[in-house]
Amino acid sequence: MFAKTFKTAILATLIGAVALPALATGGHRVRVEQYGYNNQIGGGQSGHRQRLSVIQDGRSNIAIATQDGRRNEAFVGQTGDDNRADVDQWGRRNVAGVSQYGDDNDATVRQYGRRNVTAVIQGGGSSASVTQAGSDNVVAIVQQ
């Protein structure tokens, strides 16, 4: 009995030792909630301490987020149907939001540099595209 318990403990320790660095690499955080059906999310994170939060309530919404660098933050939202958000961040301390309440909205955000801020809020059937290069740029778009 002791030998079996000991082997199990050793195996669990080895699995934890191998898996922990993969989970802790870069200190990234991702939070995804999808309530409707056919919602999709894709993307990737590299660098250190990237933050991503996506909530898609309706159906057939698509969120894509790519982050490379340090301490970039992206939030999406999307409540209705057939919305699409694409956020691409390269650099340090860039912040992007999106939101999109109704149906058929499309938002594309590109941030290359440092300390850039973007916030997009849309109503229904709207399209927004933002590209920021450099440092300390601020953009806010509101459409109804």
Domain range annotation of the chain: 27-142
Tokens of 79: 């409540």
pLDDT one-digit tens code per residue, 82-121: 999 999 999 999 999 999 999 999 999 999 999 999 999 9
Buried b (16+ CB within 10 A) or exposed e, 104-137: ebbbbbbbbbbbbbbbbbbeeebebebebeeeeb
pLDDT one-digit tens code per residue, 131-143: 999 999 999 999 9
**Tokens 């953009």, residue located:** 139
pLDDT one-digit tens code per residue, 36-95: 999 999 999 999 999 999 999 999 999 999 999 999 999 999 999 999 999 999 999 999
CB–CB of 84/104 below 8 Å?
no
Q: How far apart are alpha carbons 58 and 91 in whole angstroms? A: 32
pLDDT one-digit tens code per residue, 9-24: 454 444 444 444 444 4
Q: How far is CA 56 from CA 23, 67, 82, 110, in A?
A: 25, 19, 10, 21
Rounded (5°) CA angle 91-97-99: 155
